[in-house]
Amino acid sequence: MDAIAAGYAIDLHTHSLRSDGALTPEDLVRRAAGRGVRIQALSDHDTLAGVAAAVVTGNELGVRIIPATELNTESEWGDAHVLGYFIDPADAELEDRLRWLRENRGRRIELMVEKLNVLGYAVDLARVLDIAQGGALGRPHLAQALFEKGYVKSYDDAFSTLIAKDSPAYVQRVGLTPIEAVTLVREHGGVPSLAHPGTVVGLDELLPKLVAAGLAGIEAYYGEHTPEMTARCLDRARRLDLVPTGGSDFHGRGEHGTDLGGVFVPPETIERLESRRGRA
């Protein structure tokens, strides 16, 4: 397939080695460019560390990089992940909060390694850190370490048997609630959108609370959504005056099943998101 025809022009959800993705920010942007992406949000978990490098490569290859982060939360609302767009990588106060979240990630993974060791899975924290290469630690790094050791048949298998919620080696996150995550993004001038709403428990009760806290978008376009789910998200967007956003959630290990630029995002999305800046 012709490179440009391979992907859509906008991808607002991507991960690099600065968190739990497998590619450097530079290689990620190169791959996105090769697939026809022209606007890309680098949305690493709890960090903006990859943005500067992504912008350099983006400038070379004609990809506009939108600085972003994805905040995974802990609450009774299931997997509620908040994407924050247009945040400033030089915001020191925000970086303090993100550093706290990253430290919590580190401690959580250490505890999960200890649990795995007790369960008889001899994964080594040093190897997990090596896999992460300094990126914000996450369960995908642990999944890779388990896979390398032959304890699981695949990366997904690591989640379903050992490290997903309610699995034997799972440890709860210490972090923000979804409302706190939306508030944090707003307090620092960003535009928050709710990532992959299908993983939220109690979505229709949570959404109005998030809107009251400043939520501006909802990730309606997502690889794992059925057409019905996308339609329901678009309906919620209309009712709650949210901008429908979308992206691949590409990490580089085949998870979520979508390559960079693999999800259609309407061209007016960026302008609509930008119009929500500074509007808490």
Q: Which residues bind ligand AMP (CB under 6 A)?
A: 20, 45, 72, 138-140, 156, 159, 164, 251, 255
Tokens of 143: 């999944």
Collapse the DSSP code of 65 into the 3-class scheme (helix H, G, I; strand E, B; otherwise coil) and give the result.
strand
CB nearer to Fe ion: pick between 36 and 140: 140
Collapse the DSSP code of 133 into the 3-class scheme (helix H, G, I; strand E, B; otherwise coil) and give the result.
coil
Q: Is 20 in the site for Fe ion (CB under 5 A)?
A: yes
* Cα separation, 84 vs 54, whole angstroms: 17
* Cα separation, 280 vs 206, whole angstroms: 18
Tell me whether strands 39-42 and 64-72 are parallel, antiparallel or unpaired: parallel
Q: How many helices (H) and strands (E) does the chain have?
A: 10, 7
Interface map 14-53 toward Zn ion (x if CB under 5 A): ----------------------------------------
Q: Pick the piece of the chain touching Zn ion (CB under 5 A) from 32-40, 62-70, 168-176, 239-247.
A: 62-70
* Cα separation, 178 vs 82, whole angstroms: 7
CB nearer to ligand AMP: pick between 139 and 188: 139
Tokens of 255: 């998870």
Dihedral (Cα; 278, 276, 263, 7), 10-degree rounding: -80
Give the sign of the dihedral formed by CA 202, CA 256, CA 179, CA 230: negative
Q: Pick the piece of the chain touching Zn ion (CB under 5 A) from 18-26, 69-77, 91-99, 174-182.
A: 69-77
CB-closest chain residue to Zn ion: 249
Q: Are 70 and 76 spatial neighbours (Cβ–Cβ below 8 Å)?
A: no
Q: Is 195 in the site for Fe ion (CB under 5 A)?
A: yes
Q: Is 249 in the site for Zn ion (CB under 5 A)?
A: yes
CB nearer to Fe ion: pick between 20 and 46: 20
Q: Is 81 in the site for Fe ion (CB under 5 A)?
A: yes
Q: How far is the CB of 122 from Zn ion (least distance, A)?
A: 29
Q: Site size for Fe ion, by CB under 5 A? A: 3
CB nearer to Fe ion: pick between 81 and 108: 81
In the complex, the residues that contact Zn ion under the rule CB under 5 A are 70, 249
Residues that bind Fe ion (CB under 5 A): 20, 81, 195
